[in-house]
Amino acid sequence: MSFSRRLWLLPILLMPMLAKALESDSKEAIYVDSDTATYDDQKGVAIYTGNVHSVQGTLKTDSHQLTVYLNQGSIDKILAVGSPRVHIVQTPEAGKGAIDATSEKAEYYPGQYRLILIGKAVVVQSGNTYSSDRIEYDTRNSVAVAGEKSSGSKRVHTVIGPKGPDAPAPLHKR
C-alpha cells in the first residue's frame, strides 16, 4: 500500500484515542512543577525550566521547558521542549489504554483546538504505534494528520497491533 493510501487511515485510527480525553481535560486547571519559573506580566509569558511536570486532568506532561503564552489572561499557546524529549501521557476514559506520546517539541493552541507533536513524534496506545516527524491533531474535530506534505522523504510509520485476548504482544520495529 502506498504512502498516500496509508496516510488517510491515520485520522481514523487516532480519533478514538484522543477525542474524549482532550475534550474533558481542557476544562481542568493546569498544575506545573519545575526547578525555576519566570513570569513576565507585560509580555504575558510564563517560562518553567528544569524537570518540568505539568498535570491537567488526566493529561500529564514532562519536559525540560514549558512556556505558556497568555493574551488577556487566556492561554494562547503552550510550548513544551524536551531535553531530549517531551513525554505526554493521558488516560482517555475508563477501560481504555493510556495514550503515550513523545516528541522533541509539543505545541498546544487551546483556542484553535490544535496539538502539534514535532520532531521524532511517536504516539502509542493499546498496541498501536504511530510515528512521524510531525503529528498534528485537531482536538475539536478529532482529526489527526501525520507527516509533511512538502517533504516526500519524511515518512509516516504505523503498527496496528492485533486485538483479542489471544493476540500476541506487538513487536516494536525501529
Q: On the CB side of 34, how many CA atoms lie within 13 Å of its CA?
A: 21
The domain limits of the chain are 3-159
Residue 35, pLDDT score: 97
Outline where DSSP puts E strands in the chain. Answer: 31-33, 36-40, 45-56, 59-71, 74-90, 99-109, 114-125, 128-138, 143-146, 157-159
Residue 8, pLDDT score: 39
CATH superfamily for domain 3-159: Lipopolysaccharide (LPS) transport protein A like domain (2.60.450.10)
Residue 174, pLDDT score: 45
CB 123 within 8 A of CB 134: no
Residue 14, pLDDT score: 45
Going residue by residue through the chain, which has 174 residues, state the pLDDT in tens, using 9 for 90 and above.
444 444 434 443 444 444 455 566 667 888 999 999 999 999 999 999 999 999 988 889 999 999 999 998 888 999 999 988 999 888 766 666 788 889 999 998 888 888 899 999 998 877 888 899 999 877 677 667 888 766 566 788 888 888 766 655 555 544
The C-alpha cell 505539568 sits at 54
